[in-house]
Structure 1
Amino acid sequence: MTEFIDIDGSILEGGGQILRISIALSAILGVPVRVSKIRAGRSKPGLASQHLKGIELVGEMCQARVRGASIGSTEIEFTPGPLRGGQYEADTHTAGSVSLLLQAALPCALFGAAPVELQLRGGTNAAMAPQVDFMAQTFRKLLNRFGADFEMTIHKRGYFPKGGGHVSVRVSPVRYLSGVDIMQGGRVTAVQGASFVAGNLPLHLAHGMADGAKEELRPVCTKIDIKCYKEDRSVAPDNCNGINLWCTLASGNILGSDALGMRNVEGRAVGRAAGMAMRQDLIVGACIDEHAQDQVIIYMALAEGKSSIRTGFVSRHTKTAMHIAEMVAKVKFEIYPDSTLRNQNIIECTGLGLTNKHLTPAQ
C-alpha cells in the first residue's frame, strides 16, 4: 500500500497555499501526500476552480494518480510519477490568479527532465495574489539568486470578474538550486514602477496612483520613476487599474509591492497603499518583501546549503509555507529576531541540496 504524508489543510493560514506547496514538493520529491480539511475555514470550503487547475497542472507534469480532484472536494490524494518536460496548459475559466498557478508549477518545472512551456489562463492582476508584473519584475530576480530563471510573455490581461488573461512561461531545468544569503540591505538606489489603467478608465487615474505612491516613498527615496500608461484594448479590453513598484538596494537586493484599484477608491489612495507597504519594508531594513517571503520558502527547502533571509514581520503565509516544507521535505526552518535591529527577523534553513536526477551529466 502507498504510504501518504497526511497534511491538515486547515492549519495556520488554511488556504490554497497549503495545496500548492504540498503538491509541488510531492511531485519534486516523489512522495505521496494526502491533504484533508481543504480550506475548511473558508466561506466555501474545498477546492475552487483555481486550486483544482493547479493540482491538475502539476499532476499532468508528473503523471500523478490523483483521487478527490473535483470542485468542492475537501480531501485529495496525490501520488506522483516522474517529472517531465514539455508543454502544459491550465485555464481557471475564472479570474483565478495565473501567478498562483505558476507558484505551484514553477519549482516542478525546474526539477523536470527537459524544458517546460506553460500556457496559463485566468486572472493576471487579481486581488489576494501577486500580480504577474510582480512575478516578472521582482520574483524572477529573487529566483535568479537561487540559480534558476524563467521567461514570461503576457499575451492578454485578465481582470476580475471575467478573467480571460493568457500568459506563457518558459522554464529550463536546473541541476540543483544554490542556497541564498539575502541579508545585506543598504541605501535605496532607485524606485521604479508602472501605474496602469485599462478598458474605459481614464489615464489621469494612473497618474493619481503614481502621485500617491510618490507621497509615501519620498521620505525614503528621492529617485522615483513610475511610468503611467493605458493598456491597449487588444491586450486588456476590460476595466482595471493598479500599480506595481520595485526598488533596488545598494546590495543588489530587490523589494516589490503592488495594489489594485477597487470601486469607489480614489487612485491616490491605491498608490499610497502600494507605497506605504514598500516604505514599511525599507524603514525596518528588510531585504525581502512580505509578498516574496512565502514564495522563497520552497526554494530554500530544496537548495544546497544554508539559506538566510532578512525580513520584517514574518507573515502567517510564510509560517504556513515553512510548516508544510518541514512536513514534506523534512527540513528545519528557524526564525530569529534580530538582536540589534528592531522589527527585523532572520529566516534560516539548511536545504536538502536536491540534485535533479532527471538530468544527465552532459545537460
Structure 2
Amino acid sequence: MVATLRGVTMNNTDLSVDTIRTATLVNYRNFGIEEGVELRITKRGAPPKGGGEVRFICPVVRAVKPIQFIDAGKIRRIRGISYATRVSPQTANRMVEAARGELNKFIPDIYIYTDVYKGAESGFSPGFGISLVAESTTGVLMTAELCANPGDAPEDIGRDAAKILLTEISRGGCFDSSHQWLALLLMVLGPEHASKTRIGKLTPFTIQYLRDIREFFNIAFKIKPDPESNTVIMTCMGSGYINVGKKTT
C-alpha cells in the first residue's frame, strides 16, 4: 500500500508523524514487520489550518509473529526531533536547549535534531513542537511529545516534553502508554500461540481497549501485576489471523 495523507501533522490530541515514524513503525519489528514500512514527511502542517503531507508505504503483511518481550532493559540513549514551521528557526534550538537541560540530569547520550520548514513545505499555520524517544538496551522505545499552543514559549515546550518522557520511563514496561494498545492488538492478531509482554500502569484508554478486544475477538488477557517494578505482565493466545489478500493484475 502506498498512501499520501494530507492535513495536520502534529497536535496534542493524536500521535505526531514524528513519533509514528521514529517509534510506532519501529515497534512493528517486534512482531516481524520490518522491511518496506516507511513514513516520509514531505510537508509539515500545524493546527489549525494544517497543510501537511506524508507518504506512507507498507508491504503486504500475511501474518504477525508472537512475542515474548518482558525485559525492559536500561535506558541507554535519547533521541528527538525539534520542529518549527513558519516561525523563527531559533525556536527549534530553544526547545532543544530546554529539553537537554532536564534530560542531561538523567543520561548523557542525548541528540535532538532540529527540523525547520519554510515556504511551501511549511503548511498553512505557524507552529512548533518536539518529539522525544528513549531507547533501552533491549530495544524498548519510550516516547513523549508536545506541540505548542498559541502563546506557549519554546523553553516551556522543551522542558515539559522532557518531563513527560522521564515520567514514561519511570512507568517502566516494554511499551509506553501511547503504544500499549498497539502491542495488545498485534498480540491478539498473532498466531495461535501465547504472546507475553510487560507494560507500565494501564491507561484508561487501554482498559477500555481490552474490553473491546474481548468483545470483538472473544480473547481475554491474563493480567499479572509485578509489584517489584510496578508493571504488568500481559499474556494472551493469538487469534491466528491470516491476511488472505493477494495481488491482482
Structure 2 CA distance for aligned equivalents of residues 235 and 133 of structure 1? 16
2:207 aligns with one of 293, 312, 319:
319
2:7 aligns with one of 112, 122, 127:
122
CA-CA distance at 1:335 after TM superposition: 2.8
1:139 aligns with one of 3, 16, 24:
24
CA-CA distance at 1:207 after TM superposition: 2.0
Structure 2 CA distance for aligned equivalents of residues 179 and 257 of structure 1? 27
CA-CA distance at 1:359 after TM superposition: 4.7
CA-CA distance at 1:285 after TM superposition: 2.9
- Matched residues, percent identical? 24
CA-CA distance at 1:270 after TM superposition: 1.0
Q: Gaps (5+ residues) in structure 2?
A: none
- Equivalent pairs counted in the alignment come to 243
SS at match of 1:176: coil
2:179 corresponds in structure 1 to 292
CA-CA distance at 1:293 after TM superposition: 1.2
- In structure 2, do the counterparts of structure 1 residues 161 and 358 end up closer, same or farther at CA, with 3 Å as the change threshold? same
Q: Are 1:240 and 2:127 an aligned pair?
A: yes
**Corresponding letter in the other structure for 1:289:** D
CA-CA distance at 1:349 after TM superposition: 2.1
1:169 corresponds in structure 2 to 56
**Corresponding letter in the other structure for 1:328:** F
1:225 aligns with one of 111, 118, 123:
111
Deviations 1:165-211 (Å, cap 9, x if unpaired)? 22221111222111223321222221111111110x22232222212
1:254 corresponds in structure 2 to 141
Q: Is the 8 A contact 1:182 1:288 kept in 2?
A: no
2:98 aligns with one of 201, 208, 212:
212
- In structure 2, do the counterparts of structure 1 residues 278 and 359 end up closer, same or farther at CA, with 3 Å as the change threshold? same
SS at match of 2:212: helix
Deviations 1:225-251 (Å, cap 9, x if unpaired)? 111242132211431100011121111
Q: Is the 8 A contact 1:185 1:251 kept in 2?
A: yes
1:329 corresponds in structure 2 to 217
Normalising by structure 1, we get a TM-score of 0.63
Structure 2 CA distance for aligned equivalents of residues 229 and 165 of structure 1? 14
Q: Is the 8 A contact 2:82 2:131 kept in 1?
A: yes
SS at match of 1:356: coil
Structure 1 CA distance for aligned equivalents of residues 137 and 183 of structure 2? 21
Normalising by structure 2, we get a TM-score of 0.90
Q: Is the 8 A contact 2:44 2:85 kept in 1?
A: no
1:57 corresponds in structure 2 to none
Deviations 1:109-135 (Å, cap 9, x if unpaired)? xxxxxxx22222221112210001111
Q: Is the 8 A contact 1:220 1:282 kept in 2?
A: no
**Corresponding letter in the other structure for 1:218:** N
Structure 2 CA distance for aligned equivalents of residues 142 and 354 of structure 1? 19
Structure having greater relative contact order (Cα 8 Å, sep ≥ 6): 2
Structure 2 CA distance for aligned equivalents of residues 211 and 270 of structure 1? 11
Structure 1 CA distance for aligned equivalents of residues 170 and 105 of structure 2? 10
SS at match of 1:298: helix
Structural mapping, 1:1-363, within 5 Å? 116-149=1-34, 150-199=37-86, 201-237=87-123, 238-304=125-191, 305-341=193-229, 343-359=230-246
- In structure 2, do the counterparts of structure 1 residues 273 and 335 end up closer, same or farther at CA, with 3 Å as the change threshold? farther
For the pair shown, which has the larger CA radius of gyration, 1 or 2?
1
CA-CA distance at 1:286 after TM superposition: 2.6
**Corresponding letter in the other structure for 1:156:** K
Structure 2 CA distance for aligned equivalents of residues 358 and 294 of structure 1? 25
**Corresponding letter in the other structure for 2:118:** D
SS at match of 1:275: helix
Q: Gaps (5+ residues) in structure 1?
A: 1-115
Structure 2 CA distance for aligned equivalents of residues 274 and 308 of structure 1? 30
CA-CA distance at 1:216 after TM superposition: 2.6
- In structure 2, do the counterparts of structure 1 residues 215 and 344 end up closer, same or farther at CA, with 3 Å as the change threshold? farther
